[in-house]
Amino acid sequence: MQLTYTSFDKTITEDFKQLPFEKLLFFGTWCSQYLYSKYAKYLKEKDDIEGYEILTNALSYLWTVVDNPSAIDESIVDSHIDNLHTIDIDDFELEETNDTGIMKVMECLESALVYIEEQNHEFISACAYFPLDVVDIILTNDFGLDTNDPNKHIDHPVSKEEFDAQFKMIAYLKKNEVTSSDKHLFR
């Protein structure tokens, strides 16, 4: 069967409905970790050390909760969300890969944090799309491809690599327990 964004969405929605809170939080944090490891450093290059620390602290808290769900404290969650909103993005160019990457790190962290409070799998589904949003910018900028039709380049090796990593992780989550030590699995 040909992979489309519609079939991807249907698949992850069905899979995520079956996974417990801890495994879904792991998936959202795993996506955040991946984006963080690729793009958070660009905040430092923009001399936004405070913004970089905000991302680092939010990610660290999420991994703490993955390993110890009893560490959930809504006031801490709200504080991390509020802090994410203080990062200055006014000068970001959303056509630039690194700027989009930073934005997607922020969005992914926020979605995972909101998931803790709302426990709605749609926030984790959003986390699955944030790396794909960056892939779209890479295909447009670095490869000069027309990405107006999202399914047109879904089989491109850069897209395929991200879809494959996510499908492998979902399959792994269905059968295995995970901890923060698994944060780099399949990536």
Confidence of residue 42 (pLDDT cuts 50, 70, 90): very high
Give the tens place of pLDDT for each residue, 63-111: 999 999 999 999 999 999 999 999 999 999 988 999 999 999 999 999 9
Q: Taking a C-beta distance cutoff of 8 angstroms, is the pair 51, 43 a contact?
A: yes
Residue 119 backbone class (left: φ over 0; alpha: ψ -120 to 50; beta: rest): left
| Domains in the chain: ranges and CATH | 8-182 (1.20.1590.10)
What DSSP letter does each residue of 51-75 carry, written as one string?
Answer: HHHHHHHHHHHHHHHHH-GGG--HH
Q: Taking a C-beta distance cutoff of 8 angstroms, is the pair 102, 43 a contact?
A: yes
